[in-house]
């Protein structure tokens, strides 16, 4: 991340107030807990929180927002300027919107919203339009309260050559055309693109629809502890898992994601790399204590990682022991048991010759997308057809045993055909996964049409760059093939 990069944030600010205390009794006249207040902390919320997070990353931040001329607005402007944020304010014809959370320990008991309701009373100052032109990247942080609707701002955002990241709101305007990245969360996608299905299917379908509707270069749907799904110009959606599951206060995690993505784009990162950086940053933010790290004293310790992504979930379902034939019988049993309890079946495939860290990363990420993982393994003859007569290095029985020994793999099936279509047609997985190094360009994954027949989803997962079996073979041969 380039320290000092110029970030302009356009959006709605709120005054956040956390009242934390202890509950030891119920109210005598109602079945409600009584909170004994111990501490109260005020901070800018909405686009203001995004600005604080950006300053914490060392960015040069200008915030274009609307502020009311009341004690709350004065307080918020002071907090922002004290953090080093340059504020270019439009007048707000109403009171400062406030979001108050009553909390006991790590649990929110009640949220109280008050104020707001006023329209943005004037256009942006000329300095705001000049700041947009001079930015390295622009982040629109829409909280549905009117700032991104201002015609002069929308016109400037639509015409800028600066990359724009747009964090939308269901009650706000659609992003302008050609934004580099839009970052709705799951609930926003469900509201904007109604339809059924599990969370991965809804995210994939919704991201594709919003990308088309908004004419955006890319749409990343944030999925809390399941990371993010990116729909862009590629062969399939890219699912980026969180580094580790954490317990913590998720307030502001979406802002952290959007800020980190914008910062990475300002550095020149491709959008897929920006989303990977953003998932890591949002996860670290929650693990470190979330909004409690932003003023109001030191954060309290927040949990520990529950499990690494890709670790087995729920009761063991793995096929154990050496393969019988091609392993289909054992794999079918695993799939039947998981499907009977309503679980999600994930499958992936490949040669997996000289298993390396890139393979393991892909397998762990795939396992994190469901309740069991079946690996479709190319036979020796299949590998030779794909890679040449000097491959595989390891015979299929050895490759099978190594894969089956991994904790993230529940079953392995060997196939001899040029494609895994026959295996997939029998197992009918809910998700088909390929590593992000898939070399198909923008062409759709060849298995995507097949898995859609039973409402399945084909996705990519990130890979570790620089890992290659071919490179390992070449290095072992002193730089020579054969």
Domain that holds residue 441: 328-476
- Domain boundary (293, 311, 339) is at 293
CATH of the domain at 390: 3.40.50.620
Do 130 and 253 share a structural domain? yes
CATH of the domain at 188: 3.40.1190.20
The catalytic site residues sit at 255
| Helix/strand/coil (H/E/C) assignment for every residue in the chain | CCCCCEEEEEECEEEEEEEEEEEEEECCCCCCEEEEEEEEEEEEEEHHHHHHHHHHCCCEEEEEEEECCCHHHHHHHHHHHHCCCEEEEEEEEEEEEEEEEEEECCEEEEEEEEEEEEEECCCCCHHHHHHHHHCCEEEEECCCCCHHHCHHHHHHHHHCCCCEEEECCCCCCCCCCCCCEECCEHHHHHHHCCCCCCHHHHHHHHHHHHHHHHCCCCEEEECHHHCEEEECCCCCCEEECCCECCCCCCCCHHHHHHHHHHHHHHCCCCHHHHHHHHHHHHHHHHHHCHHHHCCCCCCCCCCCCCCECCCCCCCCCCCCCCCCCCCHHHHHHHHHHHHHCCCCEEEEEECCCCCCHHHHHHHHHHHCCCCEEEEEEECHHHHHHHHCCCCCCCCHHHHHHHHHCCCCCCEEEEECCCCCHHHHHHHCCCEEEEECCCCCCCCCCCCHHHHHCCCCEEEEECCCCCCCHHHHHHHHCCCCCC
Instruction: Render each residue's pLDDT in the chain as its tens digit; 482 residues.
Output: 466 679 999 999 999 998 989 999 999 988 889 999 888 889 999 999 999 999 988 999 999 999 999 999 999 999 999 999 999 999 888 899 999 999 998 788 999 998 876 666 667 778 888 999 899 999 999 999 999 999 999 999 999 999 999 999 999 999 999 999 999 999 999 999 998 888 899 999 999 999 999 999 999 999 998 999 999 988 899 999 998 877 788 889 999 999 999 999 999 999 999 999 999 999 999 998 888 777 533 333 323 233 333 334 444 466 645 454 678 999 999 999 999 999 999 999 999 998 988 899 999 999 999 999 999 999 999 999 988 877 898 999 999 999 999 999 999 999 999 999 999 999 999 999 998 766 545 678 889 999 999 999 999 998 766 445 555 555 456 654 44
Whether 300 is covered by a domain: the verdict is no
Do 161 and 227 share a structural domain? yes
Do 420 and 288 share a structural domain? no
- Looking at the structure of the chain, the number of domains it has is 2
Whether 402 is covered by a domain: the verdict is yes
Do 243 and 340 share a structural domain? no
Do 285 and 389 share a structural domain? no
Whether 482 is covered by a domain: the verdict is no
pTM of the predicted protein model:
0.85
């Amino acid at each position: 991340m380039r320290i000092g990069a110029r970030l302009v944030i356009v959006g709605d600010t709120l005054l956040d107030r956390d009242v934390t205390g202890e509950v030891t009794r119920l109210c005598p006249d109602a079945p409600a807990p009584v909170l004994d207040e111990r501490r109260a902390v005020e901070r800018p919320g909405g686009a203001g929180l995004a600005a604080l997070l950006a300053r914490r990353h060392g960015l040069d931040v200008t915030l274009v927002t609307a502020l009311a001329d009341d004690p709350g607005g004065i307080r918020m402007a002071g907090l922002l300027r004290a953090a080093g944020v340059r504020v270019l304010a439009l007048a707000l014809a109403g009171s400062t919107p406030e979001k108050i959370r009553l909390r006991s320990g790590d649990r929110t008991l009640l949220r109280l919203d008050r104020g707001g309701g006023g329209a943005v009373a004037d256009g942006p100052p000329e300095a705001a339009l000049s700041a947009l032109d001079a930015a390295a990247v622009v982040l629109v942080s829409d909280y549905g309260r009117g700032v991104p609707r201002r015609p002069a701002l929308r016109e400037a955002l639509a015409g800028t050559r600066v990359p724009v990241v747009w964090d939308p709101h269901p009650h706000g305007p659609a992003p302008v055309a050609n934004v580099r990245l839009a970052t709705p969360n799951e609930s926003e996608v469900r509201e904007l693109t109604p339809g059924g299905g599990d969370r991965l299917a809804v995210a994939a379908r919704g991201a594709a629809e919003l990308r088309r509707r908004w004419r955006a270069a890319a749409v990343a749907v944030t999925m809390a502890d399941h990371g993010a799904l990116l729909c862009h110009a590629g062969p399939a959606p890219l699912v980026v898992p969180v580094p580790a599951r954490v317990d913590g206060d998720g307030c502001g995690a979406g802002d952290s994601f959007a800020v980190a993505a914008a910062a990475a784009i300002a550095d020149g990162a491709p959008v897929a790399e920006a989303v990977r950086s953003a998932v890591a940053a949002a996860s670290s933010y929650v693990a470190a204590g979330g909004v409690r790290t932003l003023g109001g004293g030191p954060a309290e310790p927040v949990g520990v990682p529950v499990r690494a992504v890709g670790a087995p979930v729920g009761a063991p379902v793995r096929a154990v022991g050496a393969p019988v034939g091609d392993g289909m019988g054992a794999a079918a049993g695993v799939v039947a048991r998981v499907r009977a309890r309503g679980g999600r079946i994930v499958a992936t495939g490949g040669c997996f010759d000289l298993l390396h860290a890139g393979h393991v990363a892909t397998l762990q990420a795939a396992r994190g997308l469901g309740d069991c993982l079946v690996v479709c393994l190319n036979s020796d003859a299949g590998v030779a057809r794909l890679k040449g007569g000097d491959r595989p290095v390891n015979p299929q029985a050895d490759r099978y045993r190594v894969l089956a020994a991994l904790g993230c793999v529940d079953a392995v099936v060997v196939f001899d055909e040029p494609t895994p279509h026959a295996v997939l047609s029998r197992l009918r997985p809910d998700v088909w996964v390929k590593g992000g190094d898939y070399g198909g360009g923008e062409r759709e994954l060849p298995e995507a049409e097949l898995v859609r027949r039973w409402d399945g989803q084909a996705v990519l997962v990130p890979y570790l760059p620089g890992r290659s079996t071919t490179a390992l073979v070449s290095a072992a041969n002193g730089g020579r093939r054969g």
